[in-house]
A and B are shown apart, each in its own frame.
Chain A
Amino acid sequence: MTARAAKYALLILAVLVTVAPVYWMITISLKAEVDQFSSPPKWFAFAPTLAHYHDALFVRSFGRYLMTSAVAAVASTVCAMVAGTLAGYALARLRWPGRLDRRLSLWILSTRMFPPILSAIPFFVMMSDLGLRNSVLSLVVVYTGMNLPFVVWMMRGFFREIPREVEEAAMVDGDTRLGALWRVLLPMARPGLAATAIFCLIISWNEFLFALALTQTDASMTLPVGIAGRVTQYETKWGVMSAAGVIAMLPILIFALAVQRHLVRGLSLGAVKG
């Protein structure tokens, strides 16, 4: 009984630690500036205001940042998923001489083994030369490259879980390899696809480093860069930043809730043999 109670206490503590900053951010975004850092803090009782949201979306450019972030995240996720799924399939299923598939897989993964900042400067130079600086396209390219190894590895793992015979049956039944992939394998790997896609989306959506290096104009800035930009030498706009933070959180939260069923199955797919 006490062990059970302790377990729950620990869980509640973990939830509190995780959720407390989010709660604090949400309340700050709804508080007038006088209430934000009053002492003692006003946990619940304050007069809520939507002024910061109005400010963020209509006075400042957070609406535009939101669009840029959305384009960068969605486009790069789509690109990485298409290319990574095909590559993952090839590495999982095709015959490679001399275990080349393992070497290639490791090589692909190795691109994620160094700190990303190492490639920030080369990317900056490359994008400048290509005239892609301050354009969302540069972010799409960089995020696609960043997510690709992850997608390749995840999808390779998911495809390996699917019995080979199912695919062979499809080909004996008269389908092409790509047809079998499209009609049989991908529907079977749907939980894996959903889980992988949402990870890509979250990573691109929250990416800060490359966005900061590659985009400086209001028109090309993403939400994280835009939010950070509100910390200036003279003032820190906590209300607007919090409101923008909440806005940034919502799309991912909604998407995650929508695909939650797939997500949970996808995350456990590697462990339990279907």
Chain B
Amino acid sequence: MDVRLENVTKRFGGRAAVDRLDLAIEAGEFIVLLGPSGCGKTTTLRMLAGLEDATEGNIFIGGERVNDKPTRHRDVAMVFQNYALYPHMTVAENIAYPLRVRRAARGDIEGRVRAVAGLLEIDGLLKRRPRELSGGERQRVALARAIIREPRVYLMDEPLSNLDARLRLQMRGELKRLQHELGTTTIYVTHDQAEAMTLAHRVALMRGGKLQQFDTPINIYNRPANRFVAEFVGSPSMNFIDGQLERESRTFISGGLALTIGESELEMLSAREQVTLGVRPEHVELSMSEREGWTTARVHVTEMMGNETLVFLRLGGERIVARAAGDFRADIDAPVWARFDTARAVFFDIDSGESILKSG
């Protein structure tokens, strides 16, 4: 079912938690609302569920305006961060609850509970109570309870954040697969950019109640709308360097750093003299020996991850992080030479932080 938010605002007291939000979500899409805590993503989800009223604007589910519809008639299912299982009921009763309150036939309920439990591999736990389950098992029960009645939309509020790292990764994959199989529109809230990138068809990045960018993960990563988006997505974060453009020499100058800029980039930057250059760590190439045209820097510290090495550099007054191969070794304070792939860099307006994008 398609979901649409039109100019939706939610104010608590005088503060706007969600500020004139527009989102058009297509049927079957997996959408992730991403942002730091307090950005309004959970409030947005709760407005969709009907747990909060929108102060202004319209919310549509399946083309129907649902602003005034009580939660129970919206036909959405929600998975809560702390699972919100019913502690006094068994797993089977928990999963059956949405059907029970809809007065489904008893035999029908039993069959569907078994089917859903089988799908999520919790059929062995049906007689237990939530307190006897591990975090991962509780998570599955919460999911089972959500999917048993085939709602129009799934709403998920950081459902993986209470799991340990290994389980989180596993459940992430399963969740993606499950959504693919069910094909139900899913709106998923998280502050974890890795979850957003891996799960979403499209990511809506929010900050301070305002939508920053609504696009595919790859576009969010490669063509961030502004400095905030660029900084929030990607780990380690993008490097930002403020500097001047010298048009005659086609260089970007900042402290001791001078980078040659391509013709098309320069054209795109038009008459600007000051810009912020953003470059991802993987677009900074390193060499232990001096090379023609490369910039000299010193190693501040290295972090060996096994598959890659993160190298933190001091370059003039700037701190730069570069992603090097797993076998890259350098001592602290050793001299290195760096090359910036300016063709893949992103430029930002130095005042507004908005990105200056190539057309097309």
Partners in one complex: yes
Q: Which residues of chain A have a CB within 8 Å of any CB of chain B?
A: 163, 165-166, 168-176, 179, 183-184, 187-188, 190
Chain A residues touching B, majority SS: helix
Question: Do the beta carbons of B71 and A166 come within 8 Å of each other?
Answer: no
Chain B contacts for A187, CB-based, 8 A = 88
Select the residue from A165, A171, A174, A183 with max chain B CB neighbours within 10 A: A174
Interface size class of B (residues with CB under 8 A): 20 to 34
Question: Do the beta carbons of B97 and A173 come within 8 Å of each other?
Answer: yes
Task: Show 22 A/B contacts (Cβ-Cβ < 8 Å), sorted by A.
Answer: A165-B80, A165-B81, A166-B84, A166-B86, A168-B51, A168-B71, A169-B78, A169-B80, A170-B86, A171-B51, A172-B49, A172-B71, A172-B76, A172-B155, A173-B72, A173-B101, A173-B145, A174-B72, A174-B102, A175-B72, A175-B101, A190-B88
One of A168, A176, A179, A183 near B84 (C-beta < 8 A): A168
Question: Do the beta carbons of A163 and B97 come within 8 Å of each other?
Answer: no
**A171–B50 alpha-carbon span in the complex (Å):** 9
**A87–B162 alpha-carbon span in the complex (Å):** 34
Chain A contacts for B47, CB-based, 8 A = none
Question: Do the beta carbons of A174 and B101 come within 8 Å of each other?
Answer: yes
Q: A163-B84, A184-B86, A187-B88 are in contact. Are A172 and B101 (CB under 8 A)?
A: no
B234 within 8 A of A: no
Select the residue from B76, B77, B87, B102 with max chain A CB neighbours within 10 A: B87
Residue of B nearest to A176 (CB): B72
- Taken residue by residue from 80 to 119, chain B's Cβ proximity to chain A (1 for < 8 Å, 0 otherwise) reads as 1110111110000000011001100000000000000000
**A9–B222 alpha-carbon span in the complex (Å):** 76
Chain B contacts for A165, CB-based, 8 A = 80-82, 84
Chain A contacts for B86, CB-based, 8 A = 166, 169-170, 184, 188
**A163–B86 alpha-carbon span in the complex (Å):** 11
One of B82, B87, B98, B155 near A173 (C-beta < 8 A): B98
Question: Do the beta carbons of B82 and A174 come within 8 Å of each other?
Answer: no
Chain A contacts for B155, CB-based, 8 A = 172
- The 8 residue pairs across chains A and B that have the minimum distance between CB atoms: A165-B84, A169-B84, A173-B98, A187-B88, A175-B101, A172-B78, A171-B71, A165-B80
Question: Do the beta carbons of A170 and B97 come within 8 Å of each other?
Answer: yes
Chain B contacts for A170, CB-based, 8 A = 86, 97, 101
Q: A179-B101, A188-B87 are in contact. Are A172 and B82 (CB under 8 A)?
A: no
Chain B contacts for A184, CB-based, 8 A = 86, 88
**A234–B101 alpha-carbon span in the complex (Å):** 67
**A175–B51 alpha-carbon span in the complex (Å):** 13
B137 shortest CB reach to chain A, Å: 17
**A166–B78 alpha-carbon span in the complex (Å):** 11
**A188–B70 alpha-carbon span in the complex (Å):** 24
Residue of B nearest to A189 (CB): B88
Chain A contacts for B145, CB-based, 8 A = 169, 173
A103 shortest CB reach to chain B, Å: 18
Residue of A nearest to B51 (CB): A168
**A168–B101 alpha-carbon span in the complex (Å):** 14
Chain B contacts for A168, CB-based, 8 A = 49, 51, 71, 78, 80, 84
Chain A contacts for B82, CB-based, 8 A = 163, 165
In the complex, besides A168-B51, A174-B72, 4 extra interface pairs with C-beta distance below 8 angstroms are A165-B84, A173-B145, A176-B72, A188-B87
**A156–B25 alpha-carbon span in the complex (Å):** 40
Chain B contacts for A179, CB-based, 8 A = 101
B92 shortest CB reach to chain A, Å: 15
**A188–B129 alpha-carbon span in the complex (Å):** 13
One of A172, A175, A176, A188 near B88 (C-beta < 8 A): A188
Chain B contacts for A171, CB-based, 8 A = 51, 70-72
- Taken residue by residue from 151 to 188, chain B's Cβ proximity to chain A (1 for < 8 Å, 0 otherwise) reads as 00001000000000000000000000000000000000
Select the residue from A172, A174, A175, A187 with max chain B CB neighbours within 10 A: A172
B14 shortest CB reach to chain A, Å: 15
Chain A contacts for B81, CB-based, 8 A = 165
**A190–B149 alpha-carbon span in the complex (Å):** 29
Residue of A nearest to B131 (CB): A274
**A173–B101 alpha-carbon span in the complex (Å):** 8
**A158–B149 alpha-carbon span in the complex (Å):** 31
A191 shortest CB reach to chain B, Å: 11
Residue of B nearest to A166 (CB): B84
One of B51, B87, B102 near A172 (C-beta < 8 A): B51
Chain A contacts for B50, CB-based, 8 A = 172
**A179–B86 alpha-carbon span in the complex (Å):** 14
A76 shortest CB reach to chain B, Å: 28
